């Protein structure tokens, strides 16, 4: 797993529109804690979704910003 430490920055609006519909846990339905890391060098966004109720990490995704 890439453990690169990138400072948190607010995602672009078109990115948040895309992810807002996927912000609930697929197991218990609780709202997920989403963290985003934007890499400005290769224009990608790493999204990590964690359910605080289940204590599991649901997914990690990488998006390309265009
Ligand atoms: Zn859950």
Q: What is the pLDDT of residues 27-66, one digit of tens each?
A: 898 899 989 999 999 999 998 989 999 998 878 889 898 7
Q: What is the pLDDT of residue 40?
A: 92
Q: Do residues 15 and 34 make contact, with C-beta atoms less than 8 angstroms apart?
A: no
Q: What is the pLDDT of residue 1?
A: 53
d(CA 13, ligand 1 centre) in Å = 26
With a cut of 90, say whether residue 21 has pLDDT above it.
Answer: no
Q: What is the pLDDT of residue 19?
A: 53
d(CA 25, ligand 1 centre) in Å = 5
Q: What value does the mean pLDDT take over residues 3-32? A: 69
Side-chain half-sphere CA neighbours of 25 within 13 A: 15
């Amino acid at each position: 797993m890439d453990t690169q430490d990138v400072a948190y920055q607010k995602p672009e609006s078109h990115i948040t529109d895309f992810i807002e519909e996927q912000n609930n846990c697929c197991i218990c339905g609780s709202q997920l804690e989403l963290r985003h890391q934007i890499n400005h060098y290769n224009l990608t966004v790493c999204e990590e979704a964690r359910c605080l109720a289940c204590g599991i990490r649901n997914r990690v995704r990488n998006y390309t910003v265009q």
